[in-house]
Amino acid sequence: MSAAPATLIALLHGPDQPGLVARVAGWIFERGGNILHADQHRDMESGVFFQRVEWEPAFASAAAAGGALARPVDLAAAEAEFTAFARTTLGMNVRILSSVDRPRVAVFVSKSDHCFHDLALRWKAGEFPCDIAAVVSNHTDLAEVARGYGLRFVHIPVTAATKETAESEQLALLRELRVDLVILARYMQVLSATFLEKFGRPVINIHHSFLPAFAGGRPYHQAHARGVKLIGATAHYATRDLDEGPIIHQDVARVTHRHGVDDLVRKGRDLEKLVLAQAVRWHLEGRVLIYGNKTVVFD
C-alpha cells in the first residue's frame, strides 16, 4: 500500500485586494498542483484577507508512488517559490507547512492526569500528526504513567527559589530534543516571559475557565461563588500576559444551583480534555492563523 502524497499547506494574511483567490489557485494550477482544500475569510472591519490552502504539488505523486512519504528534493523549492510569490507578488504574510514534517512536541504536566491521558491516547491512536519527544513535569506523579505510554519522562522540580534555573534546564532540554511545540496539559506553573521569548515557538495552554472570565487560580471555585449557569474551558497560546494569549478553542457546559464545586470540577475536566485536544489537532493540521491577539481557525 503506497503512502499518501505529500502536501503543502499555506496560511496567508494581508490587505484584501481583488483576485487573490484566483491568483493563488492560478499559481498552483500553472505548476501542475492539485488543490485539496481551500478556505478564506475577510475581516470586514480591518480589510484583512485570510486564506488557508492545501495542495499536492505535481512532483509529490511521483514521490508517493515509491511507497514512502519522504521529502522530495523539490518540496523545499516549492515552499520557497510559493513564499516568494505570496510575499512579493501578493504582498501577503505567509507560513507554509509540509505533511512530511512531523512536529516534535513536549507535554508539560504537574499532578492532574486527565488532559495528559487524553492527549497520549489520541496520539497513540494516530489522531495527532506529531512525535511526542518528552513529558516534562515538576512532580513525579505521572512518571510511570508516561513510561507506560512509551514516552520519555523528565522530572525538573520547580520552586520559587529555583524557577529561573529550572526554566533554563527546560529550555536546554527543548533545544536538545528540537521541540517545535509545547503543550501545557494542566501544568500548574506560570511560564515566564523570558522562557517564552527564548523558546520562540508556540505554547498551547488549557485554562479551566471560559476566558476572560475567572482568570488565574481556582476558577471553578470563583464560578461557583458567582453562581454562574455556564462553565467553560479555553485553549489558548501562552504569552507573557497570563491567560490573555490568542484563543484557539472554547466550550461550555450548563450548571445549576444544585451543582457543588466538585460537580463543576468534574464537568470542567471533561471540557478541558475535549477543548485541548481540538486545539492541538487544529494547530498540528495548520488550521490556526494568529493575527494580533486573535486567531482565525479554518475548521
The CATH number of the domain holding residue 56 is: 3.30.70.260
Q: Catalytic residues, which ones?
A: 243
For residue 22, what are the contacts with CB-CB under 8 A and spacing of at least 6? none
Q: Are residues 93 and 59 in the same domain?
A: yes
Answering whether pTM is above 0.85, one says yes
Residue 186 domain-assigned (yes or no): yes
254-259's contacts with Cβ under 8 Å and 24+ in sequence apart are: 254/229, 254/230, 255/223, 255/228, 255/229, 255/230, 255/231, 256/229, 257/227, 259/224
Q: Are residues 193 and 71 in the same domain?
A: no
Q: Are residues 236 and 169 in the same domain?
A: yes
Q: Can you give the residue range of the structural domain that contains 34?
A: 8-98
Q: Are residues 169 and 283 in the same domain?
A: yes
Provide the pLDDT for residue 217.
66
| Domain finish residue from 49, 73, 98 | 98
Q: Are residues 77 and 219 in the same domain?
A: no
Residue 3 domain-assigned (yes or no): no
Q: How many CB atoms lie within 10 A of CB 279?
A: 27
Residue 2 domain-assigned (yes or no): no
Q: Are residues 288 and 199 in the same domain?
A: yes
For residue 197, what are the contacts with CB-CB under 8 A and spacing of at least 6? 240
Q: CATH number of the domain that 124 lies in?
A: 3.40.50.170
Q: What is the distance between the alpha carbons of residues 56 and 117, in angstroms, rounded to a whole number? A: 34
Q: Are residues 50 and 198 in the same domain?
A: no
| Domain finish residue from 45, 72, 98 | 98
Which residue positions in the chain have pLDDT lower than 70?
1-4, 59-73, 210-217, 220
Q: What is the distance between the alpha carbons of residues 131 and 104, in angstroms, rounded to a whole number? A: 5
Residue 1 domain-assigned (yes or no): no
What CA–CA distances, in Å, run from 249 to 15, 48, 236, 281, 287? 25, 22, 7, 11, 12
Residue 21 domain-assigned (yes or no): yes
Residue in the block written with cell 495528559: 116
Q: What is the distance between the alpha carbons of residues 272 and 171, in angstroms, rounded to a whole number? A: 26
Please tell me the total count of domains within the chain: 2
Per residue in 117-130, pLDDT (tens digit) is 999 999 999 999 99
Q: Are residues 125 and 252 in the same domain?
A: yes
Q: What is the distance between the alpha carbons of residues 222 and 228, in angstroms, rounded to a whole number? A: 9
Provide the pLDDT for residue 142.
98
Q: Are residues 200 and 232 in the same domain?
A: yes
